[in-house]
Structure 1
Amino acid sequence: MSELPSPISAVPLAHEATAQAPEATPDAFLQQGPGWVRLAVLVLSLAAGGAGWLAWQTHKRVQGLEQELVRRQQDSQGQATEARVAARQAQELAREAAARVTLLDTRLSEVALQRSQVEDLIKTLNVSRDENLVYDLEAGLRVASQQAALTGSAEPLVTALQSADERLTRAKQPRLDNVRRAVAKDLDRVRATRVADINALTIRLDEAVRLVDEIPLINQPEAAGKLPAAAPSQTSNGKASRNASGPGNGISGVAPSDDSWRNTVLSWTRGAAESVWSETRSLVRVTRIAQPEGMLIAPDQAFFLRENVKLRLLNARLALLSRQTAQAAADLRLVERTLPRYFEAQSRKTQLLQSMVSDVIAQSQQTAVPRPDDTLAALAAVAGGR
Structure 2
Amino acid sequence: MIRPLANRRFLVTRPENQSDRLAALLQDAGATPLLAPMIAIGEAADPAALDAVLHRLDDFDLAVFVSPTALDQVGQRIRHWPAELAAAVIGPASRERARELGILDVLCPDNRYDSEGLLELPSLQRMEGRRVVLFRGNAGRELLADSLTARGAQVEIVEAYRRLPPTMAREALAAMLAEDCDGVIVTSSEAVQNLFSMSDEALTRKLRGSLFFASHPAIADTARRQGVASVFTTAAGDAGIVASLIECFAGSQASPSASAPATPAPIPASTPKNHPPARPSSAAGRSRPRWTSQLLWALVGAALAIGVASLLQQGRRQDIGGEMDGRLSLLETRLRALSVGEQRDGGRMSQLDTQLAGINHSISELNAQQADLQALYGSIAGDQEETLLADAELTLSLASQQLQLTGNVGAALAALYRLDERLAGHDKPRLMALRRALARDLDALKRVPWIDYVGLSAKIDSLAGNVDKLPLVVDATSAEDAADRGTTQASGLLGEFSRALGALVSIRRIDQPDPVLLAPQQALYLREQVKLRLLNARLALLQRDEVTFRRDLAATEQAMRKHFDTRAKPVIATLATLRELQMAQPAQALPTPVDSLNAARDARRKASREDVK
Q: Same fold (TM over 0.5)?
A: no
| TM-score, normalisation: structure 1 | 0.42
Bigger helix fraction:
1
| TM-score, normalisation: structure 2 | 0.29
